[in-house]
């Protein structure tokens, strides 16, 4: 910070803890368990898809059948039984409850600590409540504004119907169906997701958030997202929410593809808070995600993620810097507590000249968790003057957790400059005592220290999201130091 003006000082003092947004997981009507060609065809049919889409899914399914589940990640879990999963979910009404007394008390407690109002608690827990949902009107205004700019933002299932030419042109071009085991599976059976197209030269006037979309078409366990930013356009996209997402589905395998054409910029921010399992490490979501973006000339893609949930996470948002002067960024905070395991990082593939990438990864491990950073920086033979800067910091709490860093660097061009820095630190007794002495209890002190540690990444998130993420970090680490 070069200056610290009176206004900035005032701003910092004013920053309040945030009142939370909401996010509903919509319970689903499901197909019978098991996966075969008939199921793939049935999914496609159920969604009324054109033949090319059905063929695309079937092709993916055939590839998937021949693939093996990868084992290289630094995580241990019981592999999902793929024939024991139901592959189609359609949104269905949850059973209505009559009062909050019928809701799981632990869930209510979490709501309370997130500062969610009583009315919203009812909404989240699906208790009958007579208030007009504000988000409906917000979403309407929102759609109108986007429509005027020619921006398309809708569930991908609708986009397949309404804009088949766009979807067909770009789907699978960044993450091919053959890319990996889980991407192939997703391609065969994805239930829904988002599609976004920003026309040439258009600067999307607001943050596009799944928050506005979630009640229109439920997302299932295999989510598919495709964002296309045409030449010279800009979009900031937010995914996920901080409210705890309870889900019956154990396996989540999403695919996200971003395409930034010449001079375009995409900012993609994620806050992920899937159910991490209980304190003994039972239950919890497996989150195996493939996220990748393609940059054409002078384009830029930034991935920012705050990962606090899931029992097992396996996720590497990546950038293919194909165009000259293109820029890729990855900012990540991954928190693991109790028995969570995360193997996450990024891939920066430099193909064009003067390409630049920045990686800032912050891993926070507590309890008996394991937190790994895995990153690949690859500089191609033609990538003259490519630059990369990577920084991986780990913060440990207690003596039972682990932090691991696996950097892979492959350079095929002599003009490249690649820098990698890594640090590991521990929250010390002295730091805690210092805070305690100033009247800050240990729980709050940890939150303060963790937020300080994560600041570089939190600063990259859009404002409201950053405040939510900050609060989420606090809650995720509650009780982690005895």
**Residue 199's Cα: distance from chain center in Å?**
24
Q: Which residues contact 435 (CB under 8 A, 6 or more apart)?
A: 442, 444, 445, 448, 449
Q: Cβ 365 to another protein, closest distance in Å?
A: 17
Q: How far apart are alpha carbons 55 and 421 in whole angstroms?
A: 46
Q: Is the CB of 77 or the CB of 433 nearer to another protein?
A: 433
- Dmax over Cα atoms in the chain, in whole Å? 68
Q: Is the CB of 385 or the CB of 451 nearer to another protein?
A: 451
Q: Cβ 478 to another protein, closest distance in Å?
A: 16
Tokens describing residue 407: 């950097």
Q: Is the CB of 253 or the CB of 445 nearer to another protein?
A: 445
Q: Cβ 238 to another protein, closest distance in Å?
A: 23
Query: CA dist 65 to 184, 275, 400, Å?
Result: 9, 29, 39
Q: What is the DSSP letter of 212?
A: G
Q: Cβ 459 to another protein, closest distance in Å?
A: 10
Q: How far apart are alpha carbons 394 and 453 in whole angstroms?
A: 9
Helix (H, G, I), strand (E, B) or coil at 88: coil
Residue carrying structure tokens 């049919």? 45
Q: Cβ 8 to another protein, closest distance in Å?
A: 7
Helix (H, G, I), strand (E, B) or coil at 9: helix
Q: Cβ 197 to another protein, closest distance in Å?
A: 38
DSSP 381-405: TT-TT-EEEEEEEEEE-SSS-EEEE
Q: What phi and psi, each to the nearest 5 degrees, are found at residue 89?
A: -130, 130
* Site residues, another protein (CB under 8 A): 1, 3-6, 8-10, 12-14, 428-431, 433-442, 444, 448-449, 451-456
Q: What is the DSSP letter of 180?
A: -
Tokens describing residue 120: 């919203």
Q: Cβ 306 to another protein, closest distance in Å?
A: 15
Q: Is the CB of 127 or the CB of 458 nearer to another protein?
A: 458
- Among candidates 379, 377, 448, which has minimal Cα distance to 411? 379
Q: Is the CB of 7 or the CB of 280 nearer to another protein?
A: 7
Q: Is the CB of 58 or the CB of 448 nearer to another protein?
A: 448
Under 8 Å between Cβ of 331 and 459:
no
Q: Is the CB of 196 or the CB of 334 nearer to another protein?
A: 334
- Among candidates 309, 307, 311, which has minimal Cα distance to 345? 307
Q: Is the CB of 282 or the CB of 438 nearer to another protein?
A: 438
Helix (H, G, I), strand (E, B) or coil at 330: strand
Q: Is the CB of 356 or the CB of 471 nearer to another protein?
A: 471
Please count the other Cβ atoms lying within 10 Å of the Cβ belonging to residue 34.
Answer: 13
Q: Cβ 20 to another protein, closest distance in Å?
A: 18
Q: Is the CB of 172 or the CB of 363 nearer to another protein?
A: 363
Q: Is the CB of 66 or the CB of 438 nearer to another protein?
A: 438
Q: Cβ 243 to another protein, closest distance in Å?
A: 24
- Among candidates 217, 242, 220, 209, which has minimal Cα distance to 143? 209
Q: Quick one: CA torsion of 153, 159, 165, 168, rounded to 10 degrees?
A: 110
Q: Cβ 456 to another protein, closest distance in Å?
A: 7
Q: Cβ 19 to another protein, closest distance in Å?
A: 15
Helix (H, G, I), strand (E, B) or coil at 37: helix
Under 8 Å between Cβ of 170 and 152:
no
């Amino acid at each position: 910070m070069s200056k610290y003006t009176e206004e900035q000082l005032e701003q910092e003092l004013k920053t309040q803890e945030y009142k939370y947004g909401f996010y509903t997981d919509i319970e689903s009507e499901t197909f019978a368990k098991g996966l075969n060609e008939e199921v793939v065809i049935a999914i496609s049919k159920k969604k009324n898809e054109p033949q090319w889409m059905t063929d695309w899914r079937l092709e993916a399914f055939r590839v998937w059948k021949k693939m093996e589940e990868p084992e290289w990640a630094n995580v241990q879990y019981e592999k999902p039984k793929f024939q024991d999963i139901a592959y189609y979910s359609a949104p269905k009404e949850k059973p209505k409850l009559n009062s909050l007394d019928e809701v799981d008390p632990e869930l209510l407690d979490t709501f309370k600590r997130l500062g969610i109002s009583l009315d919203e608690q009812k909404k989240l827990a699906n208790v009958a409540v007579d208030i007009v949902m504000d988000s409906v009107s917000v979403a309407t205004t929102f759609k109108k504004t986007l429509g005027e700019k020619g921006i398309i933002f809708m569930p991908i299932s609708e986009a397949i119907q309404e804009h088949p030419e766009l979807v067909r042109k770009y789907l699978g071009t960044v993450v091919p169906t053959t890319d990996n085991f889980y991407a192939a599976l997703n391609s065969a059976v994805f239930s829904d997701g988002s599609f976004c197209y920003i026309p040439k030269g258009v600067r999307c006037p607001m943050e596009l958030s799944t928050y506005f979309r979630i009640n229109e078409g439920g997302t299932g366990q295999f989510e598919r997202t495709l964002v296309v930013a045409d030449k010279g356009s800009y979009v900031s996209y937010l995914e996920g929410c901080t409210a705890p997402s309870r889900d019956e589905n154990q396996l989540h395998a999403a695919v996200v593809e971003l395409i930034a054409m010449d001079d375009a910029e995409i900012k993609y921010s994620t806050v992920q808070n899937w159910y991490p399992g209980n304190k003994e490490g039972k239950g919890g979501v497996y989150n195996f995600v493939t996220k990748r973006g393609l940059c054409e000339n002078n384009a830029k893609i930034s991935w920012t993620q705050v990962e606090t949930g899931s029992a097992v996470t396996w996720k590497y948002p990546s950038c293919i810097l194909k165009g000259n002067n293109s820029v890729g960024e990855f900012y990540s905070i991954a928190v693991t507590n109790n028995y969570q395991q995360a193997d996450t990082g990024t891939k920066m593939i430099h193909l064009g000249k003067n390409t630049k990438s920045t990686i800032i990864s912050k891993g926070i491990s507590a309890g008996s968790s394991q937190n790994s950073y895995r990153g690949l920086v690859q500089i191609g033979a033609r990538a003259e003057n490519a630059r990369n800067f990577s920084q991986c910091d780990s913060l440990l709490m207690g003596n039972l957790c682990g932090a691991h860093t696996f950097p892979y660097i492959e350079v095929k061009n002599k003009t490249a400059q690649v820098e990698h820095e890594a640090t590991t630190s521990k929250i010390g007794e002295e730091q805690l005592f210092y805070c305690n002495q100033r009247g800050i209890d240990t729980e709050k002190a940890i939150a303060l220290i963790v937020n300080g540690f994560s600041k570089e990444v939190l600063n990259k998130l859009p404002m409201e999201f950053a405040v939510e993420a900050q609060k989420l970090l606090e809650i995720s680490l509650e009780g982690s130091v005895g």
